[in-house]
Amino acid sequence: MPLDQFGREIDYLRISVTDHCNLRCVYCMPLSGVQYAPSENLLQAVEIQRVVEAAASIGFRRVRLTGGEPTLRPEIVEIVERVARVAGIEDVAMTTNGLRLPQLGSALAAAGLCRVNLHIDSLHPERLAGVMRWATRDAMWAGLEAAVAAGFKPIKINSVMTRDFNEEDAVELAGLTLDRPWHVRFIELMPLGGGECAQLSKDRLVPTRETRARIEAALGPLTAVPSSHPSDEARLYRLPQALGIVGFISPVTEPFCGTCNRMRLTADGRFHLCLLHDDELDVRRALRQGADREQIAKILLRAVGAKPTGHALAKGISPLERSMHHVGG
């Protein structure tokens, strides 16, 4: 598998398939004025497959499909099927808000999707509507049930803690792990895009230490458990007698850049070198000029070689060109 200039093994490709979303989370997308990539600039299903084939040929083994909201892509089942059948790819996952899983869950599983991470910031109806906007508790829970019914394992829930919006919901969300074998992971806000959402992310950061203290005060001590993968961005714990796992992803206060194994492909066909940097390499042009697998792999290897050592949030420097819905997290 390819190594970057800092000796990190890069074997995990996160692919954004759309920059559209059916929600408007306060830290991600404004209610109006959102700029989307022209539809003709989006990579087609066969082009995504060609990139994955090139990635697999140099040692990439895991793929995650993201958005925006990936289930809004009309060809999403076809994309999953194409990616899942690429020789060498061992795991195909998706990050989704789950709203369309009642309609698509079984088809996605049949196409080869292994796992889903569901984005749910609250189970309290009013606070959920405040932070995720356009979301309802019933719809989010229906997505969870659909994920279980489709057989995705383990069920992972991603919750972004936002000051004065949902930080008090950490206890109820963590409590889901007591009698269910689910993973609930709490994520620190990341300022991307330079607009109002990025500024809110800076102003409303809830440090992991605060979220953890809140959970332990209500539910008992958290005991560390080993991660299944050395490059897992989450630090994992278990509550007393719990069936599931509580995780913390702390890109701001406890960066994990030193073990990063990820490369990102944007919906409009650029290798995004680091979530918290603006640097990118275009691959769409090569694809549409007929580049073969080896040529695409060379572009990806250049991207791997150019990956930065880490972000500069501690210095007050954050990416300005792409918002979260463009990159996919």
Kindly state the average pLDDT of the residues 91-110. Answer: 98
Give yes or no for residue 46 having a pLDDT over 90.
yes
Residue ranges per structural domain of the chain? 12-327
Nearest to 14 by CA among 57, 58, 67, 54: 67
pLDDT at position 276 is 74
Kindly state the average pLDDT of the residues 33-46. Answer: 93
| Strand, coil or helix: 249 | strand
Residue with tokens 């806000």: 189
Other beta carbons within 10 angstroms of residue 6's beta carbon come to 12
99's tokens = 């709203």
> With contact defined as beta carbons under 8 Å apart, do 201 and 190 qualify?
yes
pLDDT at position 312 is 66
Nearest to 68 by CA among 36, 100, 101, 112: 36
Which CATH number does 12-327 carry? 3.20.20.70
Model confidence band, residue 201 (pLDDT cutoffs 50, 70, 90): confident
127's tokens = 């606070």
Q: What tens digit of pLDDT does each residue of 168-180 get?
A: 999 999 999 999 9
Please indicate, yes or no, whether the overall pTM of this predicted structure exceeds 0.85.
yes
- DSSP line for 192-232: -SSSHHHHHHHHTB--HHHHHHHHHHHH---EE---SSTT-
Q: What tens digit of pLDDT does each residue of 105-144 get?
A: 999 999 999 999 999 999 999 999 999 999 999 999 999 9
